[in-house]
């Protein structure tokens, strides 16, 4: 069994205790829980510190949110290629439509309102971007690519998407989804912080246009909106918060319509 360290920054100890410390599927692994209630630091800063602290440990670092419940063991990680970056949910642009991979349940914090999200993954699937809920990367890959780190200009949104683009565009590293049974207890909402992140990434990657979980990303992302639109525009002109539960339903509806049109 490969050495796996689960890195979780939490502000709700009860949730962390339930999904990690008391979860027999994962408490057999090395749990790195970081209480962020007092300092409320951005996740990229904490993740980069963790990387530097464990860069010589020859292990997998699994960065996961506190509201992420893993419902199986992590044996599948044993067969993964450490030269890739992995996650459990991500997006591709296919036939001008954004398609999510990594089927799971998404719900409110209390578990109510569960929705099935994403396509089933039986083997690893290459994607353009990962969602921030989870990122799996081996320390040997990070050691060989000193500039493959989380962007500390971002705080709580879009850092996984940035990490994905950086890995592929600047390091030639594949980004993939691996099979895992899990539930993400997070609808939340998208705020100006997310919109600011989109603008920042458009400047950082002026020639890029990729699909993300919530929106298109990159300097040329607006070109993709000619054929497919999210609830969140790639280059927003307003700051109106958008409920994640609403965009998930609309994403699923669009995906269903797309599939029906192709296979009816």
Q: Answer for the pair 214, 132: CB distance below 8 angstroms, yes or no.
A: no
Q: Answer for the pair 208, 169: CB distance below 8 angstroms, yes or no.
A: yes
Q: Which domain holds residue 249?
A: 4-263
Residue 66, classed as helix, strand or coil, is: coil
Q: What is the pLDDT of residues 49-89, one digit of tens each?
A: 999 999 999 999 999 999 999 999 999 999 999 999 999 99
Q: What is the pLDDT of residues 196-225, one digit of tens each?
A: 999 999 999 999 999 999 899 999 998 998
Task: Please report where in the chains the tokens 């036939």 appear, as a residue.
Answer: 95
Task: Please report where in the chains the tokens 């319509």 appear, as a residue.
Answer: 257
Work out how many domains the chain is built from and give that number. 1
Q: What is the pLDDT of residues 8-49, one digit of tens each?
A: 999 999 999 999 999 999 999 999 999 999 999 999 999 999
Q: Answer for the pair 201, 222: CB distance below 8 angstroms, yes or no.
A: no
CATH number of domain containing 238: 3.90.550.10
């Amino acid at each position: 069994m490969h050495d796996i360290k689960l890195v979780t920054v939490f502000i709700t100890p009860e949730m962390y205790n339930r999904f990690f410390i008391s979860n027999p599927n994962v408490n057999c692994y090395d749990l790195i829980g970081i209480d962020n209630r007092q300092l409320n630091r951005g996740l990229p800063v904490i993740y980069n510190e963790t990387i530097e602290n464990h860069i010589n440990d020859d292990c997998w670092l699994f960065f996961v949110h506190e509201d992420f419940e893993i419902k199986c063991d992590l044996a599948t990680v044993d067969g993964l290629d450490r030269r890739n970056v992995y996650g459990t949910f991500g997006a591709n642009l296919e036939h001008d439509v954004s398609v999510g991979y990594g089927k799971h349940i998404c719900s409110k914090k209390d578990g109510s309102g569960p929705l099935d999200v994403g396509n089933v993954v039986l083997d690893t699937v290459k994607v353009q971007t990962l969602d921030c809920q989870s990122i799996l990367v081996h320390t040997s890959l990070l050691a060989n690519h000193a500039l493959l780190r989380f962007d500390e200009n971002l705080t709580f949104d879009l850092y996984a998407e940035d990490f994905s683009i950086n890995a592929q565009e600047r390091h030639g590293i594949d980004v993939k989804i691996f099979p895992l049974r899990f539930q993400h207890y997070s609808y939340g909402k998208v705020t100006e912080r997310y919109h600011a992140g989109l603008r920042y990434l458009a400047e950082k990657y002026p020639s890029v246009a990729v699909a993300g979980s919530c929106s298109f990303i990159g300097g040329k992302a607006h070109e993709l909106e000619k054929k497919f639109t999210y609830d969140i525009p790639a280059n927003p002109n307003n700051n109106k918060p958008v409920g994640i539960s609403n965009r998930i339903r609309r994403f699923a509806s669009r995906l269903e319509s797309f599939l029906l049109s192709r296979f009816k």
